[in-house]
Structure 1
C-alpha cells in the first residue's frame, strides 16, 4: 500500500527526525537517492553526459545541487541554472563547484537545456503554492519545448503537493524522486499526470509519520485480502444476493452490462428488476439472472442494490430509485439514479450508500462547474461524501473514493484510458454492487471493484469495450487470488 501525507505533516516529521540526527543528514540521504535515480536514467554511458539542474531557493534546490555534485564526481558534466541567484542553497552550491560543476543564471537556461541529456527540476518542490512565478514558469516552458527528459525533486514544480491541483505552467517529469513518503499530489490528477514514474527514497521518515495518512493507494496484495472467498459450507445465499435496477426500453444494454458486472463480482445470485424488453435481453444474455418485471421492492430479498444505469428519467424510473433507497441494505447509485435521487433521502438512510459519479455528475451534485471538479478532485470527492453522508467514488483518470466522516481518501492506481468507453461504468456499478452484497463495506467494495475493473480494462484486447472488460474479469480474479 502506498501512503501519502500532506506537506504540513511531512514538515513536522522532518523536523522531529532532524532533531535527532547530525545536521545535513536528511539532505545527504535525499541527494544520494536522487543522484542514483539520475544515474539509472543516464545508463552505462553516463560518463561525459550532460545534466542541467534547475535550482530554486531552499532545500529543494539544495537537494538538486548536492545530487549534482555526486554526479559530477562520477564524470557527468553538470550545469546548475539558478532561478534566483541571490537565494541559492550555499552549501549545495559550494559542493557542486568543488566537484567541478558549472553555475549559470536563468538567461543561459535555453543554451544549457538545449545540450542536456537530462534535466533535474529543483525549482520549488513541495513548498510551492499557487503555480510558478514568471521566471520559473519560463524555465518550465523552455524545458518542455526542448523535450529533454526531466527528473523532478520530490514533486514537479508548479503542482500542488496537497491537492493535486495545477495552476498555470508546471514541469512535466519523466520521473519524480520523492523523499520519505508520497505526497497526495503525486497520486491524484491532474498533478499526477505531471509526475511520471514515481520513485520513493527512504530517508527514515516512517517512524515520525502518523498512523493515518491523508491518501492511500492499494496494491495487488491489499485488494486480494479484501476479495470474498467462498468457504466449504457456503451456498449462493450466503455468498450474497445483489439486486440490479437498471436499463429501460431505450437503454436495455445498460441492464445487460450492469448484470454482467454483478455476476462477475462474487455474489451468489443476481436479481434483476426492470421494465419492458430489458429483462428479456438480460435473460437471453445471462440465464443465471433472476428476472422480475415489477418494481424493485417486489424483486425478492437482496443484500445490496445497484440502481441507475440506463434507467431513464420518467416517473417509473424515479419510483425505482425511491424504492431502492428505502431498502435497508447497502445501495450503489449511478448514472440516471444520481439525477433522480433526493439528497435528503440519501442523508437520512441508515444503511450504507455509495454514489459513483463522473466529473459532470459530481458537479451537478455539488452545484458547481465540471471544470472545478476536474481541477480539484480531492476536495470534490471529500465534499460529496460530507454533503450526502455517503461513500463517494469520483470516476476519472485517477478514481478517488472517500468515506463519510473523513479518513484517508483511496486512489485507484489501475485505471487506463481504454476504460473511457460506453457502458464501462455500468459494468463497474454491477461489479461493486456484488461486492457490497458479499458483505464488504462501501469503502472496501468501491476500492476492490475499481481496482478489478481497471485491471480488466488493461487486460481486455484493445480497443476495449464494456463487454470485453466484463469478459476479462475472471482472469483478473484468478490473478489476484492465486497463492503467492
Structure 2
C-alpha cells in the first residue's frame, strides 16, 4: 500500500524527528537521497551542468545541498536565487564551497538553456496558489529546455494536499519526495506534472499519523480478491443482480453483465428489457423481463447503466434501493436516485459518478470537481452516506466514515475514455460486492482491475476488450 499524508501531518512528524537528531541531519538525509536520484537521471555526473532553482524554503536547502554533493563529483552547479535575501544560507555556502556559482532570477533562463539537469526547489509542500510571477519564466524555460527536470518533494506550483494546480507549474520528469507521499502527487491535475515518482525514506515512519490517502498495489489487491473453495457454490461465490439497459441502450446491459461475469460472480441475474441481447452474449445469465424484485435472490445489485428516464427505470431504481443487500448505482441511476432514501438505507451503497455526474449531484461546475477531486469525493460520500467511486483521469474512492483515508487508483489509462467502459466497471465492482467485499474494498479493487485490464488489452480498445481482459488482470494481480 502506498500512503499519502497531509502537509500538517508531515510537518509534525518532521518536528518530532528533528528533536531527536543533530541539527541539520534530516536535511542531509533528504539531500543525499535527492543527489542519488539526480545521479541516476544524469547517467554520469562528472562534467555535467546542474541548475538549482531556489526559493525561500527548506526545499531550496535540500536542492542546494544535493547540488553541492554532485559538484563534489565533478558537476558544474549554478544556483538561481528567486529571493536572494531569504535563500537557505547554509546550503548556499555548501554549494559555493564546491565552486558553484550563484545568479539572480533574471539570468536563470540562460543558465537553464545550457543545463543537463534542473533541480526545482522553488516552493515546498506548504506552497499555495501556484507559482509567483517571477518564477513563471523559469518554469517555462525548464519545460522548454533539453535538461531533465527533477522536482524536490513536489513540482512547484501544485498543491500538496489537494492536487490543485492554480496557474503555471513546473512540469517534472522526476519528482523526489521525502518520508511519505503527499496526496497531490497521486491525484490529478497535479499528478500530471509529477513525472516518475521516487520516495526517499528519511525516517519519518514512526512519527507519521493516519494517512489521508491510500493507493492499493498488487499485493493488497491479491489479499482482497475472493477465491472459490472446494465447498463453493454460486451463492457462496456471490450472485449479482443487474438492472440496466433499455430498448434504446441494450448494450449497457451486455457490458455490465460482461464485467460481472468476468469478475468471478457465481451467477448473474439480469432484470430489464435487454434480456435478448444479454442472452445472445452470455447464455449463462439468469434473465428476467420483470422488475428487479421479481428477479430472484441476489447478494448485491447494480442499477443504472443505460436505464433511461422512464417510469420503469424509476421503478427499478426504487426497488433496488429498497432491497437489503449492497447496491451500486451508476449512470442513469444517479439521476433517478432520491438522496433521502439513500441516506436511510441500512445496507451499503456505492455510487460511481464521473465528474459531470458528480458536479450535478453536488451542484458545482464540472471544472471545479476535476480541479478538486479529493474534496468532491469526500463531500459526496458525506452528503449521501455512501461509498463513492469518482471516475476520471484519477479515480478516487471515499467511504462515508469521516476521517478514513481516500483510496486513489494507480492503474488507470486514458484508453478507458471509451463508450461503455463505465458499465463494465459497474458490473465488475458489483460482482465483488456480491462476493462479500466491503464497499470501499470492492470499489477500489474494481477500479484497480478495470484499469489494469485496460493496460493489458493495450492500444485502442472497446469496453468489451476491457471486460475480456479482466481475468488476465486478476491473474496478474495474484502473480
Which bracket does the TM-score occupy, shorter chain normalised? Answer: over 0.9
Residue 480 (structure 1) shift: 2.0
Look up the SS of the partner of 2:131 in the other structure. Answer: coil
1:189 counterpart residue number: 188
Q: 3-state SS of the aligned residue for 1:167?
A: coil
* 1:167 corresponds to 2:166: yes
Residues matched between the structures, number: 478
Cα distance per residue 1:364-388 (max 9 Å; x no partner): 0001100100000000000000000
The answer to which of 6-15 and 137-146 deviates more is 137-146
Give how far 1:479 is off: 1.8
Query: Which among 386, 390, 410 is matched to residue 394 of structure 1?
Result: 390
1:325 Cα deviation after fit:
0.5
How far apart, in 2, do the equivalents of 1:244 and 1:399 lie? 23
User: Residue in 1 aligned with 2:426?
Assistant: 429
C-alpha distance after superposition, 1:455-480 (max 9, x if no partner):
00001142111011111111111222
* Residue from 337, 340, 352 that aligns with 2:336: 340
RMSD: 0.8
- 1:145 positional shift: 3.0
Measured in 2, the distance between the counterparts of 1:161 and 1:58 equals 15
Contact 1:48 1:75 (C-alpha < 8 Å) held by counterparts: yes
Verify: 1:450 aligned to 2:447, yes or no. Answer: yes
Match of 1:369 among 365, 369, 375: 365
Which stretch shifts more, 180-189 or 138-147?
138-147
Per the TM alignment, residue 147 of structure 1 is displaced from its structure 2 partner at its CA by 4.9
SS at the partner of 2:234? coil
Partners of 1:208 and 1:315 lie apart in 2 by: 56
Work out whether residues 79 and 102 of structure 1, in 8 Å CA contact, stay in contact via their aligned partners in 2: yes
Provide Cα deviations, 1:378-399, integer angstroms capped at 9, x if missing partner: 0000000000000000001110
Quote the Cα distance in structure 2 between the aligned partners of 1:180 and 1:462: 36
Taking the aligned partners of 1:339 and 1:94, their CA distance within structure 2 comes to 62
Check conservation: 1:35, 1:67, Cα contact below 8 A: yes
Extract unaligned runs of 5+ from structure 2: none
* TM-score after normalising by structure 1: 0.98
* CA distance in structure 2 between the partners assigned to 1:79 and 1:422 by the alignment: 50
* 2:405 aligned residue (405, 408, 431): 408
> 2:292 aligned with 1:293, yes or no?
no
Unaligned segments of structure 1, at least 5 residues: none
Q: Distance in 2 between matches of 1:461 and 1:192?
A: 22
Per the alignment, residue 228 of structure 1 pairs with: 226
Separation (CA, whole Å) in 2 of partners of 1:251 and 1:410: 32
Could you give the per-residue CA deviations for residues 80-127 of structure 1, whole angstroms, max 9, x where no partner exists?
A: 100111111010000000011111000111110110111100000201
Aligned 8 A contact 1:461 1:468 in 2: no
Q: Distance in 1 between matches of 2:238 and 2:464?
A: 23
Matched, 1:468 2:470: no
- Give the TM-score of the pair, scaled to structure 2: 0.99
Kindly indicate whether the alpha-carbon contact (under 8 Å) linking 2:57 and 2:124 is maintained by their aligned counterparts in 1.
Answer: no
Name the SS of the counterpart of 1:238 in structure 2: helix
